[in-house]
Chain A
Amino acid sequence: MKALDHLEEWLIAFLMGAATSVIFVAVVHRYASGIPWPAFQDWLLTVNLSWAQELCIYMFIWMAKFGAAYGVRTGIHVGVDVLINRMQERPRAAFVLFGLLAGALFTGIVGSLGAKFVWEIAHTDQVSPDLELPMWIVFLAIPCGSYLMCFRFLQVAWSFWRTGELPHHDHGHVEGVEALKDEDLVAYALKDGLHPRDAGKGGAR
């Protein structure tokens, strides 16, 4: 179970970083190959990066499908909870469970539809336009991601049933920001010590 969690985290973080790098390299390449630089330019022109955009899109779709599953685990998928939060404990629990199971149902259905679709397309020889990857590999994100998400919904539902606790994503929490040291709070505490402290603390100079 831990291994699956880690694999999921590494996969989406890697896809995020890789897609960014791919687009960065493609843009730099596009402008660098415009410089009339003997030999180097010829070499650059032989490199064809026209597939970068397609690769980026596919990477992000994979990231979106698996990231959505990770999001269920971290509780980032928000709903309209204004109404149910005003209810009594028991009916609220029932609605939360209903919501989680509905999520499992939806992702389960989509996963199955996707699996059927991938199975059909695997028997054709469709390939993607630029990368020429077999399309069934590309579309594999739908069944895999959806089934994983379905599993996560069931997992969260089970732990809610057992402990009554839901994962909760705190939008106000940013790593590193709360670790501010005291001197950061004094406006103007710049490294060079050119001056500034605020006048309230007798800082007239």
Chain B
Amino acid sequence: MTATIIFVLLFTLMLTGMPVSISLGLTVLAFLFAMTQVPIESVALKLFTGIERFEIMAIPFFILAGNFLTHGGVARRMINFATSMVGHWHGGLGLAGVMACALFAAVSGSSPATVVAIGSIILPAMVKAGFPKRFGAGVITTSGALGILIPPSIVMVMYSVATNTSVGTLFMAGVVPGLILAFMLGAVTWYRARKNRYPRMQLFAGRSGAQASIAALAGLSASLFFIAAPILAVWVLVRQLVPEGGGLLAVLFGIAWLLVARMLTHSAFVLRWVFTLGFLLTPPAVVYGIARIFLPFSGNALLIGLLAAWLVCAIPLARKADLVRGVALEARHEALAVWTTFWESVWGLLLVIVVLGGIYSGVFTPTEAAAMSAVYAFFVAVFVYRDMGLRQVPKVLLDSANMSAMLLYIITNAVLFSYLLTSEQIPQQMADWMIGQGLGTVGFLLMVNLLLLLAGNVMEPSSIVLITAPILFPVATKLGIDPVHFGILMTVNMEVGMCHPPVGLNLYVASGITKMGITELTIAVWPWLLTMLVFLVMVTYMPQMSLWLPRMLGMS
């Protein structure tokens, strides 16, 4: 009964079009005033103490970091890197768009921001290259949604605030589903581009797709090898020599190396040796890495054996074809493009390590990692890439403050609302009722998906998560559903909601960039939207997909 009154009141107020935060707050005030003896003075205090938690403060920090990156030309460099990697396949720039969205999602926690950052650069470029407008808009609108699935993610922070789940674990759980979704969206893009014969980016005439792919991979492995090998070597050495405080020394060396490495990347001599060593060492390292993950044993014997076997095979080959020149010459074109664009965008890519590495290794709490990434993004935008002057900083701060204040205001009122629900014991009642209906796990998850997809039609993600999570979460716990899995499921639902009308924020952003109408955009996104729905079913009924990585890292 009370539950009915509260929800009818809430929905009526919401439908009048007032801000969601205000309708939440007014519902609580009205209910407390009319129906209970609870002193309403406590409301004012709750509005303060509701958000008095350090975990929530990750949200403004991530928004600030995202804004610095959007302004800072990081997106443009990531697009160049992605194009050099996958541009030669069918759908060239479209595929590059998917990959750039996935990369940018790994440094930004919001979907619309990802669409703006990548879309405003790549969509005009795609039209110029001869893609239909609809195709580009469809790709970017949906791929931009990766922003909230690939960590960091503001929606996941919201979920963790509402349910007390660990943010770090949620972030790690988002990695694998995010990569799978990116892959699926890429596959659809590739298929449609191939079917409709859209242009690919043939950078170098007379190169087949396979040649270009192999060369691009060679370029990538050389870049990764050059960036990681010296740091790993020093780290291993330092651990042997200086047991105390060695980690810090290794970190300092890593930073110094990054500064020096960038200067070396233009030298032809360095390039040649990196390519050769990369060619010799990468295949055994990859095999070893895969074996370490999937086979129960581990050991250096395996690595040494692989290395020896590979060298025995490779060196005679190399002498025959004059490896040093041969590999470098054969792979030169695409590999060089990948190499150059990688080193251009390396400062943006490293942010992934600051956030995920920092949280996983326990160096930072999630909030601290968010603050560090904001400072890092500021530094990169203003001093490294210099796409932004110091004079623009106050404007960025103001914009970020505006956005974060809006989200924090919704959180405050949602906390107030869930306090009302809890004090009336509504979540427990609803949980008992739902379980009394004989809904199994499968039925319950189906119902949750439908409910969230419906809610995605009228509200934006933060409000949906904050309002529904406290109600649905107790039921999920009773049914034995993993909280982390449930969080990923909600996030994917929010993604779908952002890409379809009437309120999909991504659509509006994309429509702002492309000047296309919402109806036309809706038609444009459907192939990818369908893919996302298939993916949603996969995420819902395959908990291993989200839980595998955190379990392997020992986080849950």
- The residue among A12, A23, A27 with the most chain B CB atoms within 10 A of its own CB is A23
CB–CB A80/B70 < 8 A:
no
Number of chain B residues close to chain A: CB under 8 A: 107
Give the Cβ gap from A164 to chain B, nearest Cβ, in Å: 15
- Is A137's beta carbon under 8 Å from chain B? no
Known: A24-B371, A68-B405. A13 touches B70 (CB 8 A): no
Known: A60-B408, A185-B125, A204-B205. A99 touches B16 (CB 8 A): yes
CB–CB A190/B341 < 8 A:
yes
Residues of A within 8 A of B124 (CB): 180, 185
CB–CB B18/A102 < 8 A:
yes
Known: A71-B402, A114-B44. A174 touches B71 (CB 8 A): yes
- The residue among A15, A20, A100, A178 with the most chain B CB atoms within 10 A of its own CB is A20
The CA-CA distance from A142 to B51 in the complex, in Å, is 12
The CA-CA distance from A172 to B509 in the complex, in Å, is 4
CB–CB B336/A71 < 8 A:
no
Residues of A within 8 A of B372 (CB): 24, 27
Known: A139-B48, A177-B116, A187-B93. A23 touches B201 (CB 8 A): no
Number of chain A residues close to chain B: CB under 8 A: 87
CB–CB B375/A64 < 8 A:
no
Given B48, B266, B397, which contacts A141 in the complex, CB threshold below 8 Å? Answer: B48
CB–CB A80/B83 < 8 A:
no
CB–CB B203/A176 < 8 A:
no
CB–CB B48/A142 < 8 A:
yes
Task: Give the interface SS of chain A, mostly helix, strand, loop or mixed.
Answer: helix
The CA-CA distance from A182 to B119 in the complex, in Å, is 15
Q: For residues 41 through 67 of chain B, which have their beta carbon under 8 Å from a beta carbon of chain A? A: 41, 43-45, 47-48, 51-54, 57, 60-61, 64
Given A9, A14, A34, A106, which contacts B248 in the complex, CB threshold below 8 Å? Answer: A34
Q: 13 A–B contact pairs at CB < 8 A?
A: A16-B398, A27-B371, A66-B405, A77-B21, A77-B406, A77-B409, A80-B459, A96-B17, A99-B19, A102-B13, A103-B22, A174-B120, A175-B71
Instruction: Spell out A's residues near B (CB within 8 Å).
Output: 9, 12-17, 19-21, 23-24, 27, 31, 34-36, 53, 56-57, 60-61, 63-68, 70-71, 74, 76-85, 95-96, 98-100, 102-103, 105-107, 109-110, 113-114, 116-117, 139, 141-142, 169-178, 180, 184-188, 190, 192, 194-196, 198-200, 203-205
Instruction: Spell out B's residues near A (CB within 8 Å).
Output: 13-23, 25-26, 29, 40-41, 43-45, 47-48, 51-54, 57, 60-61, 64, 70-71, 76, 79-80, 83-84, 87, 93, 96, 112, 115-117, 120-121, 124-125, 128-130, 199, 201-206, 245, 248, 266, 333, 336-337, 340-341, 344, 363-364, 367-368, 371-372, 374-375, 387-388, 392-406, 408-409, 412, 457-460, 502-503, 505, 508-513
| Additional A-B contacts beyond A12-B398, A27-B371, A200-B199 (12; CB < 8 A) | A64-B412, A77-B409, A79-B16, A82-B502, A95-B16, A95-B17, A102-B23, A171-B512, A187-B93, A187-B125, A195-B203, A196-B84
